[in-house]
A and B are shown apart, each in its own frame.
Chain A
Amino acid sequence: MTMARADRPLFEGSDWNFDLIQRIYDAVETIALTDFRLDVYPNQIEVISAEQMLDAYASTGMPLFYKHWSFGKQFVANEMLYRKGLRGLAYELVINSDPCISYIMQENSATMQTLVIAHAAFGHNHFFKNNYAFRQWTDATGILDYLEFAKSYIAHCEERYGEAAVERLLDGAHALMHQGVHRHPRVRSRDLKLEAAREAERQAYRDKIYDDLWRTLPASTKAPEAADDHRRRALNLPQENILYFLEKTGPALEPWQREILRIVRLIAQYFYPQRQTKVMNEGCATWCHYQIMTKLHERGQITDGSFLEFLQSHTNVVNQPTFDSGHFSGFNPYTLGFGIMEDMARICSNPTDEDREWFPDFAGKGDVNGVLQDACANYRDESFITQFLSPHMIRKWRLFEVADRESEAALSVAAIHDERGYRRIRRALAREYDIGRQEPDIQIVDVDLAGDRTLMLEHSVADGVLLDERDAAMVLQNLANLWRYDVVLTELDAQDRRILKTHQMKPARLQ
């Protein structure tokens, strides 16, 4: 679809006003919705100052949050970096809510405001609304109300039970935050009609396979269910969501303490999809802003000058230093996401033989938007890389895999960007983005109900990497204080269930 060139660019120079923002937004919206068929929540754009951006940073980007010293710590650290000029501020912040709130900074030039609107208000917004992880785990309409509730509830608790008590509880809950998410979809509550249908189905199956011969078998001599199993089932064990378990079964918690644990847990759950989709989320937003800005330029809605300004900023954003450049600090999620999506677009429209072999599903099919939107909706970082990282990109980035075996004195290069290495590299890179592998697999396995109520946890050790001992001791101390009885964490080898290490912690005495 082509449109006539605009008579006049939207703006010249770098100054902006609210009227211009509105016109920019309208232009971007037209392109986003008609040309790229993005599906977004309604937008709300808020203009803020640098000072307010620092404030927003400190409360994980949310417009309102409860009070805790750790946010103050982040604030003073960011403030210093910013004021000394060591780090610039982000141009925008966007919140996964409905309506989708984007913060844009007043210091941005008109070009940057255009970029930011395309990036956040359309790119991120589209991703939030469509990606399955967000749809499954977060409630965009309710989050701001919930945070409002959380803030006032915690403030109320501080008044009633003392700041010190609430702070201690929050410290403990924050330490367990990463162990406070459900990693698998909750069991949907079944309704009675469905239940009846299932029962009928089962009965039909039983009728079908009925054979009178079974009746002649001697009665089963299976032992009655062990008491251990019964107890574990009653307690819903094993359980990977430690905060959930504490909230539901902690023996010595007050109701308000349970509620605060719940607040921390639900907020952790809200952010869980963001941690799983960093690469895709940024990739999607970067792809959108790049496409939209290019379209605006083609149609003469932005000047050559501001297009160059955009390109410079875009290039900075997707810059990926190489491992030996001295600036390397891991992969840049913008580069990775944008690179793969750009490559997918190339494969759709202009594939090589290699692409046809690797991506028979969509190579040469032409429908770039459809393919990308499908990817944005149905994948997370790990599966996205596994599925879409092409040999072309592996060669382009010159990726290689280094293996570090504990038993060997030197590191070895396990794979490089050649025929034999592609799949290996792709799998290894995908694993780096698999939270399930990067985070320790810790579960509550049992409680010694007959004895001293010791809480037993297991860490299933993958690849021989144990927990950081100092931190583990501190977190377990927190956990023991919440549980009020002993806590034991056993680190077991994932393969042969060999015990590698045991941590034990007693609760601190109540003052």
Chain B
Amino acid sequence: MHIVDRRLNPGGRSLVNRQRFLRRARAAVQQAVRQSIKDRSIKDIDREGQISIPRDSIHEPTLHRTSHGGNRERVLPGNRDYLEGDRIPRPSGQSGGGSSAGTGDGEDDFRFVLTREEFLELFLDDLELPDLAKRKLKGEASSTPRRAGYTTVGSPSNLSVPRTMQKAMSRRLALRRPGRADLERIEEEIAQVEAHQPAQDGDAERLEQLREEHQRLLRRRALIAYIDPVDLRYRRFEATPRPIAQAVMFCLMDVSGSMSAHMKDLAKRFFALLHLFLTRSYEYVEVVFIHHTDHAAEVDEQTFFHSTVSGGTVVSSALEEMLAVVSARYPPDDWNIYVAQASDGDNINNDNPKTARLMREDILPISQYVAYIEVGAEERPVDDGRKSSLWSAYEELQATSPNFAMRKVHHRTEIYPVLRDLFQRRSDERDRAKGRA
């Protein structure tokens, strides 16, 4: 008999099959992910989670007999009071004489758990993000090497010459490696003795002694190397996460009756994407939700996405509310402030100048980035050149402020371009930072 310990064998034998399964059911899984994003909080977008897809898409057919119709006999255990010949009303449902439950006739959905990576991949794919942005979001390159002392192994390019020489010197001292001076002294003495004319008493003896000493020193110098492999020291680097900082993200949204469910869904995706980006860039991210009609209020996420408040539309109220929150809780010196605003573009005309002024003079100077998306109905209307009132108010800002982006969005694949400038800018900054270092 053999006992084999297989616990240390590499796991994940089913990984390939799992990937093939996901690829096979891609359309259904994508649909399910889309569905489950509706139920997820934007902070939870990148958690692993259970999804369910219709069994049809992954059904494996076989030739088998139907579960109903025909004449059947079935033996069951646990008879209590039936006698031969008793009549039992046919159970409702189509399961004939007995239960054939569990054969999976498609009535139940197929449920399984997607890992965080898989979920994110599908979510980002759905938004048609370019690969570069995806890589950044998935946080694969989120650490920078930082010096952390010395190590005895490393690549030659990291060899620290001063430290190596220092080590070599202390070793030479400790082992008393004869220096050049010692050697020269002996050689000089030998020369002196040899120079005696005529030779004195004991010279031969002395010479012998000196030559022996000379040989010993030479041998010792050869044995104790000037630089030994044990002296080598390399600069050590440690991967450290990118600078720790905190950011706050303000989600502003118009919740008046004109915002349809589709528009809110677009807004949610936009907010989720921005949040995802911020959590990759900052260690600590807070989210503040402010909704507004003709007055604004800070609310929780549930209310933010799921309540409708009747009233007019005064955008500046939301901006004022946001500034109030900033001054109360998020001093701009300590926090990176990001603002994401979603609206269908309605605003009372006489509020526009105030909105634009607040944005230009108070918000943009303290914010890292302000993005405005104007969400539209799913069918793109004919572009008749008409602009919504909020759009025209913001239009001049776009030209003058580099940290302001605005975009019209009708479909979820159009969300990414809004954030593209942002991704672009951050990577440029990092490149510049690298160039300095």
Is the CB–CB distance between A410 and B87 below 8 Å? yes
Note all chain B residues with C-beta closer than 8 A to A145: none
Note all chain A residues with C-beta closer than 8 A to B6: 46-48, 52, 103
B271-303 interface with A by 8 A CB criterion = none
Is the CB–CB distance between A54 and B14 below 8 Å? yes
Note all chain B residues with C-beta closer than 8 A to A323: 76-78
Tell me the complex Cα distance, A361–B228, Å: 90
Note all chain A residues with C-beta closer than 8 A to B63: 175-176, 178-179, 440, 442, 467, 471-472, 475
Which B residue's beta carbon lies closest to that of A471?
A: B61
Is the CB–CB distance between A329 and B99 below 8 Å? yes
- Contact pick for A413, options B24, B25, B66, B85, CB 8 Å: B85
Is the CB–CB distance between B2 and A44 below 8 Å? yes
Determine whether B4 belongs to the interface, using a CB cutoff of 8 Å to chain A.
yes
Is the CB–CB distance between B4 and A324 below 8 Å? no
**Which one of A55, A103, A106, A331 has the highest number of Cβ atoms from chain B below 10 Å of its Cβ?**
A55
Is the CB–CB distance between B65 and A421 below 8 Å? no
Is the CB–CB distance between A399 and B76 below 8 Å? yes
CB distance from B83 to the nearest CB of A (A): 6
State whether A468 and B66 are in contact (beta carbons under 8 Å apart), knowing that A51-B11, A80-B113 are contacts in the complex. yes
- Contact pick for A465, options B11, B21, B72, B98, CB 8 Å: B72
Note all chain A residues with C-beta closer than 8 A to B101: 329
**Interface of chain B, helix or strand or loop or mixed?**
loop
B40-83 interface with A by 8 A CB criterion = 50, 58-67, 69-80, 82-83
Determine whether B84 belongs to the interface, using a CB cutoff of 8 Å to chain A.
yes
A16-60 interface with B by 8 A CB criterion = 18, 21-22, 25, 29, 42-49, 51-52, 54-55, 58-59
Contact with B along A182-211 (1 / 0, CB 8 A): 000000000000000000000000000000
**Interface of chain A, helix or strand or loop or mixed?**
mixed
CB distance from B37 to the nearest CB of A (A): 20
Is the CB–CB distance between A440 and B64 below 8 Å? yes
CB distance from A59 to the nearest CB of B (A): 8
Note all chain A residues with C-beta closer than 8 A to B77: 320, 322-323, 328, 331, 397-399
Contact with B along A392-410 (1 / 0, CB 8 A): 0000011111111110011
CB distance from A46 to the nearest CB of B (A): 5
Total chain B interface residues with beta-carbon distance under 8 A:
64
Tell me the complex Cα distance, A262–B24, Å: 24
Tell me the complex Cα distance, A440–B102, Å: 19
- Contact pick for A404, options B9, B73, B83, B110, CB 8 Å: B73
Determine whether B38 belongs to the interface, using a CB cutoff of 8 Å to chain A.
no
Note all chain A residues with C-beta closer than 8 A to B13: 52, 55, 59
Contact with A along B108-121 (1 / 0, CB 8 A): 00111100000000
Contact with A along B372-415 (1 / 0, CB 8 A): 00000000000000000000000000000000000000000000
Note all chain A residues with C-beta closer than 8 A to B155: none
Which B residue's beta carbon lies closest to that of A404?
A: B97
CB distance from A202 to the nearest CB of B (A): 41
CB distance from B68 to the nearest CB of A (A): 9
Determine whether A161 belongs to the interface, using a CB cutoff of 8 Å to chain B.
no
Which residues of A line the B interface, CB within 8 A?
Answer: 18, 21-22, 25, 29, 42-49, 51-52, 54-55, 58-59, 67-73, 75-77, 79-80, 83, 99, 103, 106, 167, 171, 174-179, 320-325, 328-331, 397-406, 409-418, 420-421, 425, 428-429, 431-432, 438-440, 442, 463-472, 474-475, 478
**12 A-B contact pairs sorted by A residue (CB < 8 Å):** A18-B3, A54-B14, A76-B21, A79-B113, A103-B6, A175-B62, A399-B79, A401-B75, A410-B87, A463-B71, A464-B69, A465-B72
